[in-house]
A and B are shown apart, each in its own frame.
Chain A
Amino acid sequence: DGGITQSPKYLFRKEGQNVTLSCEQNLNHDAMYWYRQDPGQGLRLIYYSQIVNDFQKGDIAEGYSVSREKKESFPLTVTSAQKNPTAFYLCASTAGTAKSGNTIYFGEGSWLTVV
Chain B
Amino acid sequence: AQSVTQLGSHVSVSEGALVLLRCNYSSSVPPYLFWYVQYPNQGLQLLLKYTSAATLVKGINGFEAEFKKSETSFHLTKPSAHMRDAAEYFCAVRGGGSYIPTFGRGTSLIVHP
How many residues of B sit at the interface, in one of the four size bands? 20 to 34
A31 touches B99 (CB 8 A): yes
A-B contact count (CB 8 A): 60
* Interface assignment of B1: CB less than 8 Å from any CB of chain A: no
A19 at the interface (CB under 8 A from B): no
CA separation between A72 and B89, bound complex, in Å?
A: 28
Main secondary structure of the interface of B (DSSP, over half): loop
Whether A109 lies near B46 (C-beta < 8 A) is: no
Check B43 against A90 for contact (C-beta < 8 Å). yes
A98–B99 CB distance below 8 A: yes
Residues of B within 8 A of A48 (CB): 99-100
Chain A to chain B contacts (Cβ below 8 Å), 8 pairs: A40-B105, A45-B100, A58-B100, A99-B96, A103-B34, A104-B94, A106-B44, A109-B43
Interface residues of A (CB under 8 A from B): 4, 6, 31, 33, 35, 40-43, 45, 48, 50, 58, 90, 92, 94, 98-101, 103-109, 111
Give B residues with C-beta under 8 Å from A. Answer: 9, 32, 34, 36, 41-46, 49-52, 90, 92, 94, 96-101, 103-106
